[in-house]
Structure 1
Amino acid sequence: MRVLLTGIPSYLQRTVAGVSGSEVRHKPYFDEVRTKKDLIDQVRKIANTGNYLIGEGAAHALRGHDVTYVPFWHLANSRNSDDVYEHFNEEFDICVFASANLLRPGYSADLEAEVFEKLKMPVVVMGIGIQRREGLKEKLPAGTLRFLEVLKKKESFFLTRGYFTAEFLREQGMKSVRPTGCPSLFFAPNEMKRSLTALANPELAAAQKIAFGGYLGSVADTIVDAHALLKPDSLASYVVQDEVVAYNLSLPGEDDAPVYDRASGRITGQTEYKHSEKWQRKHELLVFFDTNHWRSWVSSRDLCFGRRFHGCIIGMQAGVPSLMIAVDDRMREMLEFIGFPYMEAAIWNREADRKTYLANFLSKIDSQAVIDRYSACEANFRTALAHVGL
């Protein structure tokens, strides 16, 4: 099967030097990330470094096939060239579009509608999900409605992040819809199971080497979590995903000022963000532009803990016990589908003795039941791929 893979990319898209027709040229190196401008530009290219896990999971699921990753921007920029699309339609048998929060009020999928109208091949939309489900039917932008109409008229398959998205798409008239979860969940199944087994351990509530994730620059929740779980002399390690472009975590100084140590992944420059004055622990901010580097670092932690889905999934891919705090409908849909243990933010935030609460929560996890559920979801994902010839 000759597969055109597009949409959310893996970190390997950082080596793309250019595209001509269906030929993608790669550099033999990654662009250096050292200065303030370098760091912000690299985050802006992917919007959220957690997205790298989605693209990586989608690509890994297609191994064994003849796969070419074509950046979506090239497909969009070429949409007025019939010659380019004729070449695509001759070169590939199927298109896989790695997706995430495409169904949301604030995003109109006009470009996606135009691109898929010109691709004369079956399309698999992998990992599609909903953001802000309340009133979505009335608020869905015209471009997204057109995107759905285009796919309704051709051979298309939707592999959704969960049940709610699947039901929504069926209501919109999509015929081949199957909830499968985010493709990042099945990148490293053995390590995921090891992580789930290790999570059922109340002693983790006393762990001091924790990878935290959340929304620095917006709310102080993660700072409060670190104070509740870490001893005064511990180091709080926080992994940044999109805060420098979405949540007002700023790097004061000139664009060419050195702010990043790529060997450690640590932000070395000065940072400014709301609630930073509340810190009562030593802390470090890290950001990773290579998922292997990220997994390598997180493998040294005893626990991944926080309010970011992929910030915890990367820990699970490294075999590290990871526990998420669900903060929105996106996380709940994905977590409820896959059956991973999680805590509700509203409950966790009001706990007076969080360390004791966490220990009790971990002590009640049925590891085998969770692993059985995960194994069934993995089998479902592989079966869904096989159904479309992948």
Structure 2
Amino acid sequence: MRILLTGIPSYLQRTVAGVTGATVRHRPYFDDIRSKKDVIDQVKKIANTGNYLIGEGAGHALRGHDVVYMPFWHLANSLASQEVYDEISRSFDICVFASANLLRPGYSADLEAQVFEKLKMPVVVMGIGIQRKANLRDDLPAGTQKFLEVLRAKESYFLTRGYFTSEFLKEQGMKFVRPTGCPSLYFNPDGMRQALNGIANPGLVESQKIAFGGYLGSVADTIVDAHVLLKPDSTAHYVIQDEVVVYNMNIVGDDTTAAYDAPSGRIVAPLEYKHQEKWQRKNELHVFFDTNRWRTWASQLDLSFGRRFHGCIITMQAGIPSLMIAVDDRMREMLEFIGFPHIEAGIWNREPQKKAYLKEFLSTIDAPAVIDRYNACETNFRTALNDIGIKQAPASLVAKPPVAAVRAHEPA
């Protein structure tokens, strides 16, 4: 099958040099990232580095087919050119649109509606979810309503991040709707199972090689988390996803200031952000623009503990146990669907004896049952794609090798 993949990209979109008609040209290298401006520009291109996992998972699920990733901006910029859309229609059999929090009050999907109205082929919307479900039916923007109207009128398929989104889309009259979870969940199933098998271990509470994720620059929650788990002489490793463009985390210096060490993935320039003075541990802040590099770094850890869904998922892809703190509707929907052990932020934040609570929580996890649930969800995801006509390779061929065996230049 000839598949046009668009929407949220993998990190490989950094090699796109240009697009003409239905042809995408790639450079054989990545742009260097060194300065403050480089870091901010790269984060802005993807909006949130956790999004890399969504595009990567979607692309990986299409292996075995003739797949071309076409940046969505090319489709949007070509709306006035019927010639371009005719060429695209001749070149592909189906479009897969990698999505995330598209259904939300603050975002109007006008461009998506126009693009899919012009595309004369079936559309698979993969990974679509709801960001804030309160009053969504009343507050859904007109552009998003148009987007749903367009897809309701053509051959379309929705693979959602969870049950609530599925029910909402069915209410909107969509015919093929399956809750399948985020496609990033199935990128490296063996690594995920290894991580799930290892999380039922109270001894992880004493680990000192931990990745943290959250919302530095907005709230101090992650700083509290690090102080609970880390000894005074340990170093907190925090992974940035979008803080430098959304949460007022400022890299000190002008645009040319040396800010990033690519081999370690560390921010090396001074930073300024709210609540920074509350740190009582040494800390290093990392950011990754290559998911293979991110997984390689994560594979050296003992645990990921955090408030970011994809920051924990990539650590699990590397086979390392991760425990999430659910902070919003997005995380709750995805975690409810996949059945991963997690802690509610409201409960955790109020708990006076956090370390004892966490040890008890880990001791009660039924790892075999969690893995069984994961296996069922993976089968459901691949069955849904098969039902659409996007045939899946046998599981033994789909699974990637352990992260340590993945070459740094290997495509995702």
Scaled by the length of structure 2, the TM-score of the pair is 0.94
Partner of 1:248: 248
Deviations, residues 305-338 of structure 1 (Å, cap 9, x unaligned): 0000000000000000000000001000000000
Task: Say whether residues 1:207 and 2:207 are aligned partners.
Answer: yes
Matches within 5 A, 1:338-357: 338-357=338-357
State the alpha-carbon separation in 2 of the partners of residues 179 and 124 from structure 1. 13
State the alpha-carbon separation in 2 of the partners of residues 254 and 208 from structure 1. 34
Scaled by the length of structure 1, the TM-score of the pair is 1.00
Secondary structure of the equivalent of 2:272? coil
Task: Say whether residues 1:65 and 2:57 are aligned partners.
Answer: no
Partner of 1:217: 217
Partner of 1:74: 74
Secondary structure of the equivalent of 2:250? coil
State the alpha-carbon separation in 2 of the partners of residues 264 and 25 from structure 1. 29
How far residue 278 of structure 1 moved from its aligned partner, in angstroms, is 0.1
1:296 touches 1:318 (CA, 8 Å); kept in 2?
yes
Partner of 2:164: 164
Secondary structure of the equivalent of 1:258? coil
Q: How many residues align?
A: 390
Secondary structure of the equivalent of 1:19? strand
Partner of 2:143: 143
Gaps of 5+ in 2: 391-412
Partner of 1:84: 84
Using the aligned pairs only, state the percent identity.
Answer: 74
The worse-fitting range, judged by mean Cα deviation, of 245-254 and 12-21 is 245-254
Deviations, residues 245-271 of structure 1 (Å, cap 9, x unaligned): 111111121101100000100000010
Secondary structure of the equivalent of 2:211? strand
Deviations, residues 139-160 of structure 1 (Å, cap 9, x unaligned): 0000000000000000000000
State the alpha-carbon separation in 1 of the partners of residues 210 and 252 from structure 2. 27
One-letter amino acid of the structure 2 residue matched with residue 371 of structure 1? I
State the alpha-carbon separation in 2 of the partners of residues 129 and 244 from structure 1. 24
Secondary structure of the equivalent of 1:181? coil
How far residue 83 of structure 1 moved from its aligned partner, in angstroms, is 0.0
Partner of 2:407: none
State the alpha-carbon separation in 1 of the partners of residues 326 and 20 from structure 2. 43
State the alpha-carbon separation in 2 of the partners of residues 41 and 221 from structure 1. 27
How far residue 353 of structure 1 moved from its aligned partner, in angstroms, is 1.7
1:206 touches 1:355 (CA, 8 Å); kept in 2?
no
Secondary structure of the equivalent of 2:105? coil
How far residue 218 of structure 1 moved from its aligned partner, in angstroms, is 0.2
One-letter amino acid of the structure 1 residue matched with residue 59 of structure 2? A
State the alpha-carbon separation in 1 of the partners of residues 251 and 369 from structure 2. 45
Partner of 2:21: 21
Task: Say whether residues 1:284 and 2:254 are aligned partners.
Answer: no
Secondary structure of the equivalent of 1:300? coil
How far residue 356 of structure 1 moved from its aligned partner, in angstroms, is 1.0
Partner of 1:376: 376
Secondary structure of the equivalent of 2:101? coil
Task: Say whether residues 1:55 and 2:55 are aligned partners.
Answer: yes
1:302 touches 1:321 (CA, 8 Å); kept in 2?
yes
State the alpha-carbon separation in 1 of the partners of residues 374 and 177 from structure 2. 20
Partner of 2:401: none
State the alpha-carbon separation in 1 of the partners of residues 300 and 312 from structure 2. 14
State the alpha-carbon separation in 1 of the partners of residues 373 and 28 from structure 2. 41
State the alpha-carbon separation in 2 of the partners of residues 223 and 24 from structure 1. 43
Partner of 1:155: 155
State the alpha-carbon separation in 2 of the partners of residues 385 and 173 from structure 1. 20
The worse-fitting range, judged by mean Cα deviation, of 247-256 and 304-313 is 247-256
State the alpha-carbon separation in 1 of the partners of residues 172 and 230 from structure 2. 48
Task: Say whether residues 1:3 and 2:13 are aligned partners.
Answer: no
